[in-house]
Structures are given as C-alpha cells and as structure tokens.
A and B are shown apart, each in its own frame.
Chain A
Amino acid sequence: MALSFRRIVASIGIALLLPVVAHAQESATISGHVTGEGGIALSGVAVSIPELGLGGITRDDGSYTVAVPSARVNRQAVTVTARRVGYKPKSARVTINPGTLTQDFVLEANPLQLGEVVVTGAGTSTEVEKLGNVRNSVSPELLVKSNEANVVQALAGKAPNVQIAQSSGDPGAGSKITIRGLRTINGDVEPLFIIDGVPMNNSTFSTTNFNPIDAGSTTGVGGQDVGGQLEGTSAPNKMMDLNPADIESVEILKGAAAAAIYGARAANGVILVTTKRGRSGQTRYSLRSSGTNDEVTKTYPLQRKYGQGQRGVAAPITRSWGQELTGDTFDHAKEAFDTGHQLDNTLSVSGGNERTTFYLSGNYNKNQGVFVGPNNYFDRATARLNASHHLTEGLTVGGNFSFADTRGHMTQRGNNVNGLLLGLFRTPPNFNNFPWLDPKTGLHRSYMVPDATLETAGQTRVFNNPLFTLNEELNDQKGNRAFGNINAEYIANTWLKFNYTLGADYAQDERLEGCPAECSDVAVTGRITEGRITDYQLDHNLTGTANWHLNANVAGTVTLGQNLNARNYRTFSVVGRGLIATQPFSIINTLARDPASDYQTEIHNESYFGQATLDLYNQLFLTGALRNDGSTTFGRENRRSLFPKASAAWTFTNAYKPSVLTFGKLRVSYGEAGQEPQPYLTSPTFSGTNLVGGISQGTGFTPTQSGLGGLFTSFTKPASSLKPERTKELEGGFDIGFWGEKADFSATWYRSKTNDVILVLSVAPSTGYSSEAKNGGVFSNSGTELSLNLRPITKTNYSWDLGLGWGRNKSNVDTLSGAQFLLTDNGLLKTVAQQGFPLGVIRSLGWVRCGISPNDAISGVDLAKVCAGAPKGALYLSDGSNDECGDAGMPCVDNTERVIADPNPRWTGNAHTTIRYKKFELSGLVDIKKGGDVWNGTRGALLSYGTHKDTEIRAKCTGAATSTCTGNEHAMGDADFYPQPVVGPGKGVKFPVGENWYRNSGLAACPFTGIDDPCIEDGGYVKLREISLGYTFDQPWVARSLGMSSVELRVAGRNLKTWTKYTGLDPETTVGGSTSRVGGTDYFNLPLTRSFVVTVSLNR
C-alpha cells in the first residue's frame, strides 16, 4: 500500500526548514533498508527526520536515502522515524555527522493501526489513537475487490450504519448512500464527498425531470421540477465519475460530531477520499483487467395457463383472466433478459524522484447490461494525473487532475407504460412479443394492438411491447467531467505550515430520450426529451497550522482556515412531440414543443474555521473546533452561522493496562453540523409553469394560453427568514485491542437532534398561498455501532481474519411544527415524516385490523369487542353485510389513513473474512439488513392482471360478483392464503379466489385500490455480496520470464445469493432509485444483477 507523502508530513505536524546559511561544511546522507517481519523488503515506507523537515520514501528493495544539506549538518542528535500504513512506526536517534550514515529499520505489523495518520477534513489530520470519533475507513484493496465501477456501491457492507441502496441493475444505475439515518425531508440526505480536499458533486438526476408534464411532477423545493422518481430511466450518481482504482483511502466521517469542521454542509456526514500519489523510486506499472458476466438475480414468477380476457373468455383487454390455454405460451419472465458483460481495464504508471512524484492512470469500463438488445450499456473512460514537486525547500506544489467521459444507454422503467417491466410482466402468456414490429407495416405491435395494421398508426399501444421498449427507444446520456485541484504546502518554520488548495469540479451531462411514434400513452405521436445538466464548482481552501511542544507531556496544534465555495448548477431542456420523420431522434424533428425549461442555481459560501488540539501526557487528546459559515442560501437576517465541535480521547491503557488489553481508548465527542436551505426560498417570484393540475398525470395548464404569455403568483409564500438545519450530535464509545493484537473491538453510541429542519408547511389556500418554508422540524436519531475484528491466525504462510460489523439507527420525528405529516418523497406512495414515527414511514389505507383501526371503523361493529383476546393486527373478516367490507370471509377497508409500513431497517450488519494460504487468498463479504418494509406493488398489480404465478390456480367466474365464481375456495388466514391471525364473523369462511377477488373486489390489488397494507412485505435480507479467490505469482520466474514483479489472478462473485422472505425481485430495489430519500417502494423497477468476475493484475 502506498502512503502519501503529504499525509505524513501533515501528520507529523512538525517540519523544519532553517534558512540556508552558507557554511563551508560537508553534507550528510542517511540511508538504509526497511524490512518487515521475516525480512521482506518494504517499499513505500516514509522515513523522515521531523526536526529537520526532511524525508524520503523507500524504493521497491526497501532502501531509502535522506540527504541533509551541509548547512544543517551540526553534529546534532535527531530522531529518524519510519512509517508505513499497516506497520507500527519506528524511530531511532542518530547523530548527524558529515558523510554517510546507515540506519536500518525492521517494522512490525500494526493491526490496530495505532500511530497511523487519519485525515480528518478541511486540511486537518491526526493519529488514530488521538481520534475522538469512531473511525470508519475503507482500504483501497476492499474497494477494488468489490469489482464495482461505482465507488458508492463499492462501500456496501463496509461500515456499520453506512447504508447503500442500488437503484437497479441497469448499467450506470446510481446507488444511494446514507449514514446514520435521515436528518432532513427537503434537503440532501447523502453525505458530502470531498476528493483530495475539494467537494465533489454526487448528484443524481433523472431525465424524467425534464418532462414534468408527462411525469405528473410537482415543483420541488427550490423551484426545480421533480418528477423522475416513478418512471423514466435509472440515473447515475455522479461519484461514478471517479475510478475506484485511483483511490488511496476512504475515511467516513459519520454524523455531526465528526463532520462539524465542514459546517453547514455536513449534517449527513462527510466522505473523505484521497487519491493515489506517486512515490520516488523505480517507475511502477500496473495493469488490471477484469471481465464480468452479469445476470439478473431473479425474475418474476408468472402463470402460463390462462390467456388474455375476462371471466374465462378471451377478450382484447389488458388482463389475463381469459380462457385456459391449449396452444403455445411464452415465457415473458425470461425473454427480456440475457447475460451482460463488463470489461474493465486500468493502467497506471507511477514513480518519481525525491523532488517530483507522479501518478498517471487510465481506465476504460465497458458495461453491456443484462437486457436483450444492444441498447443497454454504460461505458466510462477516466484518466488521472496526480503530481507534486518540491519547488524549494519548504514549498511543495502539486496538482491532481481527473477527467471522465461516460456514455450510457439506459432502459425505461417503473410506473411507466413505455417502461420495460410494466409491459413485460403484464403481457398475457398466449401473446408472443416477437416480433415487436409488424413485418408488413413496420408498426409497433403490442398485446393490446396485436395486429398493427396501418389503421393503428398514431394509436396508443396501451403498454409497450417490452422488446420495442428495449430495441426502439432511445435513452442516451453522455457525461463529461473534469475535476481536480492545484495545491501548495509551505512549511514556514519548525512550528508553522500553510496549505492551499484551489479545486474545481466541472460536469456536463447531456440527456436525450426518444420514444418513437406508436409508443404508448402521451408519447403516442413520438416524443423527444432533450436536456443538459451543467454543474460547476470552485473551492478555495487555505489553512495554516501551528504546533507546539511545551514539554514531553503537553503538546498541541492550532489550525486556522478559510474556505470559499461557489456552486453553479443549470439544467436546460425541451420536450418535443410528434415526430415528423421516424428519424432522427432530435428536437428539430418534432411538430410541437413544450415550453423549454431552464433552471439554474448559484450558491456562494464563505467560511472561516479553526481547530485546536491538546495532547496531555500522551494519553488524553482534546480537540475543539469552530466553523463560521456564510451562505447565500441563508436568509438575510441569518447570513452567518456558527458550528462548534469538541472531542476527547483517552488512551487509558497508557495510564492503566489490564493484562488482557493491548490497547484501550475511551472517546467522547460533540459536534454541530448543518444542512443549507434550498436556494431561493426567500426570493418572491411569479411562475410561468404548472398552473392548474388536471385529474391525471399528463394533464394541466400553464398560465400561458394560446400563445399569450401568462404568469401567476407562486403558490409558495416567500420565506421571511431561513437558517440552516442544525444537527447536534453526541457520540461516545471505546476502542480496545486484546489477545495481544489478535482482536479489536469498537463500540459507539450516538444521539443526535436535528433542529430547525426546513419544512414546507401548508398554509390555508384561501390566504392566496398553499405553502411556506419554515425552520420548524425537530428530528432525532440515536444508534449503536459495533465492530469486532479477529485475527486468530497470523502466520507467515497462512492467516485467517474475520470482521463483524453491526449498526442500528432509530429515528424519530419529534415535531413538525403542527403539520400532521409531510411528504419526504414525491413518490408513488405517501412516504412521510409523521410526529412520533421514524422518518420515512408509509401512510396509506389498510384493511381493518384489531388494535390498529378505530373502534368504529366498520359501521355497526364494536371492533374492540370482536377483537377481544386477538393479537394486535389481527384481520377482521366480515360476513359480507357491511358497506366497508367485501363479501363473506373478506376483509374490510379502514377508511382512516394510517402508517402501514416502515422501510427503515431495524439493524444492518456485515461479516467479512479473509483466509490466506501462501499465495492463495479467499475472501467473502456478507451484507445483512434486518427488517425494513417494502411495498410490493408489482406483485399487487400482477395479481390484478392475472399474470402472477399465484393466479394460476383460480376460481372460474362468469360475472364480477363473488357469487358467480366457483372453485379455488380459500379462507383468509389459512396457511396458504394471506396467513395471519383473523377475527370476526367471516373467520373461516371460504370464498372462491379468482378474478372476482384479485381484480374486482377492490380489496386485493393495492396499486389500484389504494389499500396498501396487503402489499407490505418484510424487506430484510442476507446477501452474499462478495466472494473472491485470488492467487499471486511473484516467484522469481515471473520477473525472469514475464518481466513482471507480480501477477495476480482472481475469480470473484458479486451478489451471488440473497436470502430473503421478500417475494419481489429484490428488497433493495426502489422505484425512486437513488433520488428517493427512503425507498421501500417496488413498482416495476428493473431487476438487480449478480456477477461473476475474472481479474488479472500485472504489476511491474
């Protein structure tokens, strides 16, 4: 593992550069070898003389050289220290005499990572044992071993309470990351990403946002249309532009206590990524090449016995309740899926000399997805150059530059008649989706328009033929990203240094979606959506750090810094309707265009911060920090905000050491961090779009009418003053090492309270406005995080280690400023914040249940009496005599909306292990989510459509009423039919289950009835995330015959197996994708994939 020079110097915190005084004296050279246990040469070890501010790094053979200029050779005694990540630092005293000195080091492994340096953000760093917060770091080996091209997804299962959700298995689909639960309902829920000291945008933008009219969107807080959560394509999260192979380290700052140094942008935590640097010595080459086969983890169970129709008779309707089939049937569950292929190549070259180092890499990732046809892929090319140069003694300048080019073609999904799965799984088994174009007319044929004659031109297909969706639609995205920084470090004298970073992040993303003519629904005449997202960020960060040693027992540092940040964001888009010619998919080839949409934001921040540390008796480490943020998003009266933090770490084993403990530390910290308001909430405006909502999505008026420009007063009352949301977090815990160094255990408890949460509260529409943004919400989160690492066997030839992580977060909405509930997502369901409940619960109607429904839920029934003795949640079954209820034996509708599900997991955990035998290495990672409800609307819809496998056994119905049906009789609560406790006069009463129940009863098909509790399922899972077996060839013959220093072969599997009770495609999936705050909504989203990977790494 490489170690960055800058981090070392920063960590040591002491550097000396005396003015060059001309003395006629001889220079000195200190050189030597650094080896590990067993005499293995260690490369990349930083050898430094802190008192002189000098240092060098060992070459591949473990040798190093530090030259001391003649002016500074004073025959003095100095300390020479050798450090390398994974090893305990070692120091030696040497006397500087002119000439050559030799000092060798033998380093011991350091599984507890004591003495290693951790970056803590905003230019500060510290040593592991001095940290007042829980440390979660992810090593580059783990990131690369995950075989994920997306660094966010690669973090899955790597740290407790760091939750990752993949939006779909479509190539390029984004992943969402949240840490320690949610703390906001309108702001961003993801942590701030900092790459080499510069914030990097990790936004996710769905192309459907460009088409608010068809997407049935609402205007988001801050004014941008948000409609893309339920349909459209999966969207990439922008951290995808970073090649995981370029990463040197990832530090996760969880919660406000750790992240407070980032002030108003840090309430969700911060992820600090450091990219690789070159090091002096021989130039090193590395080529890593991997090939992956992907396939869908699961498809839906569909029936193949009954055809299109109703009441047992064939009819040209959308449902499959028709005749029993005798002819050919088709396997719609599988016909759209294929094996996907990925090829990932990274070539890196790094090296340098004592003054200049560089790291250069290029990556090409080609990902052809799992849906049939050529149109689903995501290709990424990245290049990176990191370089630094010691300009003069004391002054080092450097630059990191990265470029990414992504080209993807995504697949329409979700609640979308032009999406893949909606049409696919609804297709009756007797309809052949091939060919998707009529051979004679070339027109789109679907099961609702099976005979695509010329007369059907211009008519909707109701649902697209899924193969038409895959082969004829265009869903293109092209991203370009340039990001990086120039940096300088100036060591002014023995106790003072300065760091400067000027970073930039420029991203442009072009989207083009085209639905040909005879697409379904509103796109029937053909539709083009074209848009561009431009994101531009500049960041200036200047810090000065002073440190002092009063005596051997008292030392400290003071860092002062200043940060300026400017973010510009703009989207521009047009929707065109009515294709003139069939090609090209271009906005100019359309008959009519919706009003163009142009949305931009500009945010400026100006911040000052300071941090002081105090080290006492080498066992008590205190840190205090303060950040003052100014932001244009704050109201004028609150233009600046202050965020404090304090922490203490006590290495008690330095005072008292029980024999069982190798190391022990208690830590406690408190910090405050914020979330900026959305821009422009305080700015009064008029609006020109979305004036009147129609009855369904796709209908509505703008104030402009018949070519005359119209405007209206914004529905949202301008806020008089707003300040940032503020999270106050208290964290405590301990870290211990025991059984020698064979085990370590870490426990952390935290409690946070988020005040001033910005709520868009309803105001009485009769006042002229419908909503107003206010700082009014209070949310709290509390939780526990445990991690245990065991290294039972650590022999030279073989070793075994095992790690376990466990995290639990409990959130609660303390107050919503009087609102009963507020939506957290613009989703298919009401995902809400509701006082007294965890954030993100689902509200809807449900069946009448004991202990949940009001006593008078059914007219004339004293529910409490019937329910006496029954468990809470028992289902009331009626005798069919009440209006609220179905026929005898069926449940009843509770017309009082209630919280029916909580998508938040009860806890999450992970287990990883590595077994090494000589040059073989076997490792595995299991990712566990306990609890967390998912609304399986896909299943609900397919039951109504009669295509779900569960409808294969069905009652025969001749009419809509239950009385017209015979056969397949079941009683609710039976082991094979809605098994659960039941009460009431209908208990045990069997009724025929067929079309009448699933389609007509108004009780069963939740997506269409609004009664959602029957669709709630347990979304807990255990996933075998990663398993890999590698072998490293580094025998002498490798160098002799291949010219390589080592060759590594690895076979791996990803997401090979999921154990879950969930009956849908995958409990991880959510129709909102990574743009949804909470998740837990499954509605015809695309499936996830499992992968088999073969990797070859060549190192020279």
Chain B
Amino acid sequence: MRKSSIVAAAICLTAAAGCNSFLDAPKAVADPNAPTQASTNQLFVGTLSNTFGNYEGPVAMLICQWMQQCAGVNGRFVETQAIYTIDAGTFDIPFQNIFNGGGLIGLRAVEAQVASDRLYLGVAEVLEAMNIMFAADVWGDIPYSEAVGSNTTPKFDPQMQVYASLLTLLDKAIADLAAGGTGPGAADLVYGGNATKWSEAAHTLKARIYLHQVEKLGNAQYTSALTEARKGISSPANDWKTAHSSNTSERNMWAQFAQTSFGPDLVAGSTLVNLMKAQNDPRIGSYYQKNSAGAYVGYDVSTGGPDVATISALVTNPTAPQPIITYDETQLIIAEAAFQTSDRTSAATAFNLVRTRAGKPTIAAAALTLADIMNEKYITLFENPEVWNDYKRTCLPALKAARGRSRIPGRIYYGQTEEQTNSNTPTTASQNLFTFRNPNDPNACQ
C-alpha cells in the first residue's frame, strides 16, 4: 500500500487511468485484523480449547450445582441457577460452542484437512464424539446429521440416533487411530498425539454412551459398556485431562470464576461434603476449603442453609488440569456394569481399585451395593458433568430438590438463538424443564 495513496489517487484521476486502485486498497478490502488462512494445527488447538470450555464451562458449573457438589449463594446468577431459575438465553453460548468456532465447524475443517493423515483424523473424530455426546446428554435431540452444512435450518436428530451415530463414529476413530499417520503431535495438549491413549479414551467414551442408553434400551447395554470399559483408559497416567496455563484466558475456567468478584457465590454443596465427611474421604481437602470455624460445611439448597457467611469456598488452581475421562471413571463403569450384570466380584475388584487409590478402605464383594459404587463415582467425578448422567440413570446419590422445587431438572433448554432461527427447534414451552425428560431418561428420580 502506497503511503500517499490519496495523492496518488488524485493524480491518477487527472490522468484518467488506473483509478480503481483507490477502492481496491488491500487493507481496505480484506480485514487486516484477523487471519484469512488457518493451519490445521491452529484450528485443532482451537477445537481442543473449545472442548475444554464445554466441559469446564457454564453447563458444567450448573451441573455441579444441580448435583449438589457445589451450591450457588448470594442471590446472584449462580444462586438463581442453583434453584433452577433459568431460561433459553442462559444456554445460548453453550449451545453455540457445540457447533460454532472451535466446535463442530472447526472439527469438520480439521477433518477435511487431515483426511489422508488417519491418526490425526481419528483424534479429531474422538473430539467430535466427545462434544456431540456432551450436547446429546444435556439437550437430548440435537441437530447433527444436517448440522454445519448447507441447510440453514438443520433438523433435530433423535437423541438415541445421535448416540448410535457416535458409536459408529468412535469405531471409525479407533480404526483410524490404529492406521497410523503423523498426527497432531505437540499440538495435542492432552495426549501429545499418542494413538494408544486416544484409542483407550475412545473405548471409555463408548462405554459411557452405552451407559447413557441403559435406561431406555435395557441392561444389554451394560454388557456392551463392560466390554468397552475393559478396553478403556488403562492407567491414571492415560487420563484425558484439560491443559491450562496461567495466562488470563487460558486458565482453568473454575479458577477463572473463583477469581472474579462472583467467585464467593459458588460454594461447597452439602450433599458431597456430607458424603465425604461420612466416609472420611481424604480427598475432601483437595476439593474444599475449611470455613472460618475450621470445618467443612456445605450449603444445602433444599433448606437454604447454613448461613451464607459461614460457607467455605471451592479450591481452585489456575493451571490445574480438569479430569474429563479418567481411569477411575473407567473402573467405576466396570464396577457398575459388572454389578448390574450380577458379576459382584469384578465389580468389587474395579470398585476397590478406585477406593484404594483414594486412600479409603475396601468393601468386600458380598457387602457391595450399587449405592456404594455410585456414591464413590459421585465423589470421584468432582465437577465432572458425567455425574448428572449417572444420577438420571440411577437416582444416586439421593438428592433433595432445591427449596420450593419438587424435582431436579433432567435437561436444559436449547439456546435461544437456535430456538428463534431454526423452526425445527422444539419450543421452550414444549420442553419444560421440570416435565420434559430427554429420550434416554424416561423416568424421573423424584
């Protein structure tokens, strides 16, 4: 771009030649503020960051409150959410993040660019399954088969069909991962492009999906879950955890929130605090802080107490990786699936592996109950949205609804923008939070 373009243009006008260049100045026509090209690795990191956001973001925080691991106080927005006062607008951004930016559109762009690098393709496919499964878990029916295409109003696929598609996608991912390739390498902040680890995570994800189908399709899904979990994450070192740095917008989202002025509004939930205190669980100190009286106290959303001023805050660390799919979860899937298919021995073995790792006494196979397994999973999967899926299926641990409410919601609303722009979206009214349940969850707990 010539510096004195206006002078040049003035001259050119008198010379009556080449005058169009004034309206074709490159920086005036193409946005100089953002790249018009992106490399595969850049897009891939964007999709990873987006996945971290989905699993640590507002929905995860909401689930933590609804599942009473956390509680919202002080009358501000987290408290209103804690007592289920929400609307479609609350979920606009979480819904967008499934599809936009680093969501499905970003994953599809990566998949298109790495079509010949099957290892990389497999990794992207697992990520796609993670994100779409998350969406199907909380919203039920979602746009998937027609999403991110030419259709301006994609249809909503039935939830069970989405799960089935994801099982197929994960099978393809596992095959692709095994087929080799360059892979994302260091751009993969989770596994460093390790095919084995991704493959194990894919199997645990499959096991999760089978569990999410159980209530609808019956106990046969437990058998499938068991098979997959046994091929799943094989050691704590292979846990799928988010990665964070101390840079402001790369910090763990829970830590980010704790450091805003709203931080004190999110406190310990009484159900988990009481359960851990009853079991003398050594992990309590890494989940919560003691209050000023030196005690672990949780806020009981069903009674609205104890007094807000005495509640301890959640412990958070800006660079803490958040465990999303873990060895412990895999073992507890095995425990539940084995228990439900009458294999108490296998159940106890897997269960006690987790108990021992946590520093708690084991429970003999004969004495083992489903509540033991699900409570242990509830304690272990702290701040993990998966506990809501477990609760919807098993109604464990026993929870009381928030004060003035008769039941804990079984889903969340679609984003308002989708509702307003896509005529296929079921309306908020028809999807009432308290009466409508997702197709995989026909039975309410209360």
Contact = CB atoms under 8 A, between A and B. Distances in A.
A698 interface: yes
Nearest to A630: B23
B33 A600 contact: yes
A331 interface: no
Contacts of B257: 694-696, 699
Contact of B250 (A630, A705, A714, A766): A705
A695 B57 contact: yes
A1062 interface: no
A19 interface: no
B246 interface: yes
A764 B57 contact: no
A521 interface: yes
A711 interface: yes
Contacts of A704: 45, 49, 250
Contacts, number: 285
Contacts of B1: 602
B357 interface: no
A684 interface: yes
Given A538-B6, A764-B418, A705 B256 contact: no
B352 interface: no
B235 interface: no
Given A566-B5, A691-B102, A713-B105, A765 B415 contact: yes
Given A699-B257, A883-B404, A602 B28 contact: yes
B34 A562 contact: no
B278 interface: no
Interface string B70-108: 000001111000000000000001011111111111101
Interface in B386-420: 404, 415, 417-418, 420
Given A462-B261, A631-B23, A767-B147, A213 B45 contact: no
A632 interface: yes
B165 to A, nearest CB: 15
A870 interface: no
Interface stretch (B36-44, B204-212, B323-331, B342-350): B36-44
A454 interface: no
B247 A685 contact: no
B302 to A, nearest CB: 15
Interface in A693-712: 693-712
B6 A564 contact: yes
Nearest to A578: B246
A564 B418 contact: no
A686 B260 CA distance: 29
B34 A702 contact: no
Given A522-B259, A711-B46, A766-B422, A695 B243 contact: no
Interface in B89-142: 93, 95-106, 108-109, 142
Contacts of B100: 713, 715, 765, 768-770
Contact of A600 (B32, B143, B148, B261): B32
Contact of B49 (A592, A692, A767): A692
Contact of B248 (A462, A577, A712, A820): A577
Contacts of B108: 768
Nearest to A636: B29
Nearest to A684: B36
Contacts of B58: 693-695
Contacts of A798: none
Nearest to A690: B249
Q: Which among A594, A762, A768, A769 has the greatest number of chain B C-beta atoms within 10 A?
A: A768
Contacts of A100: none
Nearest to A685: B34
B225 interface: no
A223 B309 contact: no
B-side interface mostly: helix
B169 interface: no
B101 A602 contact: no
Contacts of A767: 99, 147-149, 151-152, 154
Nearest to B319: A706
A599 interface: yes
Interface string A706-729: 111111111100000000000000
A632 B149 CA distance: 30
A765 B420 CA distance: 10
Given A602-B28, A683-B36, A686-B38, A698 B260 contact: yes
Contacts of B96: 715, 765, 770
Contact of A686 (B30, B34, B151, B421): B34
B189 to A, nearest CB: 5
A861 interface: no
B61 interface: yes
B309 A710 contact: no
B5 A766 contact: no
Given A566-B5, A566-B6, A683 B417 contact: no
A315 to B, nearest CB: 6
A540 B10 contact: yes
Nearest to B32: A600
Interface string A510-553: 00000000001110100000000000001110000000000000
A703 B93 contact: no
Contact of A602 (B25, B104, B143, B246): B25
Contacts of B147: 766-768
Nearest to B74: A318
Interface string A587-622: 000001011001111111010000000000000000
B243 to A, nearest CB: 5
Given A713-B100, A764-B422, A769-B100, A691 B53 contact: yes
B368 interface: no
A695 B77 contact: yes
Nearest to B36: A685
A1038 interface: no
A598 B76 CA distance: 34
Nearest to A212: B249
B317 interface: no
A603 B23 CA distance: 9
Given A686-B35, A694-B58, A712 B420 contact: no
Contacts of A201: none
B28 A315 contact: no
Contacts of B9: 540, 564, 604, 606
B93 A693 contact: yes
A417 B243 CA distance: 31
B76 to A, nearest CB: 7
Contact of B253 (A317, A462, A701, A770): A701
Contacts of A594: 247-249
A521 B261 contact: yes
Contacts of A883: 404
A442 interface: no
Nearest to A1010: B80
Q: Which among A538, A679, A712 has the greatest number of chain B C-beta atoms within 10 A?
A: A712
A460 B258 CA distance: 11
Given A521-B261, A594-B247, A762-B417, A706 B256 contact: no
Given A705-B52, A764-B154, A683 B101 contact: no
Q: Which among A317, A577, A770 has the greatest number of chain B C-beta atoms within 10 A?
A: A770
Contact of A680 (B33, B105, B143, B308): B33
A639 interface: yes
A155 interface: no
B187 interface: yes
Interface string B1-12: 100011001100
Given A540-B10, A691-B101, A692-B52, 9 more contacts: A592-B248, A600-B32, A679-B31, A680-B30, A692-B102, A762-B417, A764-B153, A765-B99, A766-B143
Closest 3 CB pairs of A and B: A692-B53, A703-B46, A710-B45
Interface of B: 1, 5-6, 9-10, 13, 19, 22-25, 27-39, 41-50, 52-54, 57-58, 61, 75-78, 93, 95-106, 108-109, 142-143, 146-149, 151-154, 186-187, 189, 243-250, 253, 256-257, 259-262, 304, 308-309, 404, 415, 417-418, 420-422, 425
